Amino acid sequence: MLAYIGLGSNLKDPKAQIKRALASLSNNDGAKLINVSSFYESKPLLEIPGPNYLNAVCKIETKLSAIDLLDLCQEIEESQQRVREVKWGSRTIDLDILLYGEQVISNKRLSIPHPEAINRAFVLVPLFEIEPSIKFPLLGSIKDLLERIDKLDVNKL
C-alpha cells in the first residue's frame, strides 16, 4: 500500500526531529520510504503562540494496516519525547497519516483522509511538491484543493 505521512515539529531542533522520524520510518521493516518533500517553515496555525513549525510530507510503501501504521507513528512520536500537554500545543514531533492508498477510514482512532489536511497549506504544499497529480478520495485533486487555501504562509527552506 502507498501512504503519505505529514510530519511537523516546532520544538528542540525541528529539522533534526523530522529527520529522526524519517529515519525511524525507513528503518522499520513494515515501511519503505519512497520520497520526502522539502522542509517548509510556517507560523503556528490559528496564531497560537509558540515557535515556528517545520513541516514535510513523505511517501511510503507499507505492508502495515492503517491501524498498525498509526501505532508505528505513535511509537515514533513517543520515542521522540512527544508530550501531549494541551490541544494545539507545541510539539517535538507530530506524524499524521494523510492518505492510505485510496481508502476512506473513519473510526475512533483514525480518520483518513486526514480531515484537516485539506485546509492546511503546510500539508498540501509539500504533498503537491512530491505528488502533483494525487487525488484525495471523496475530496478531489490536490490542485483543486490547493486553489481554495492561502499558500503565502509556508516557506520552503
Contact 46, 90 (CB under 8 A): no
Q: How far is the CB of 81 from ligand ROI (least distance, A)?
A: 16
And the C-alpha cell for 88? Answer: 494545539
Residue 122 is a binding residue for ligand ROI (CB under 6 A): yes
The one among 17, 24, 37, 42 contacting ligand ROI by CB under 6 A: 42
Of 55, 62, 80, 92, the one binding ligand ROI by CB under 6 A: 55
The set of catalytic residues is: 82, 91, 94, 96
Burial of 132 per CB tally in 10 Å (0-12, 13-18, 19+): exposed
* The one segment of 12-20, 26-34, 36-44, 134-142 that binds ligand ROI by CB under 6 A: 36-44
45 near ligand ROI, judged by CB under 6 A: yes
What character string, x for contact with ligand ROI (CB under 6 A) and - otherwise, covers 90-119? ----x-------------------------
Determine the interface stretch with ligand ROI among 37-45, 70-78, 124-132, 141-149 (rule: CB under 6 A). Answer: 37-45
Q: In the 3-class helix/strand/coil scheme, how is the chain assigned residue by residue?
A: CEEEEEEEECCCCHHHHHHHHHHHHHCCCCEEEEEECCCEEECCHHHCCCCCEEEEEEEEEECCCHHHHHHHHHHHHHHCCCCCCCCCCCCCCEEEEEEECCCCEECCCCEECCCCHHHCHHHHHHHHHHCCCCEECCCEEHHHHHHCCCCCCEEEC
- Stretch of 21-29, 41-49, 97-105, 130-138 lying at the interface with ligand ROI (CB under 6 A): 41-49
Is 155 a binding residue for ligand ROI by CB under 6 A? The answer is no
Residues that bind ligand ROI (rule: CB under 6 A) add up to a total of: 10
**Footprint of ligand ROI on this chain (CB under 6 A)?**
8, 42-45, 53, 55, 88, 94, 122
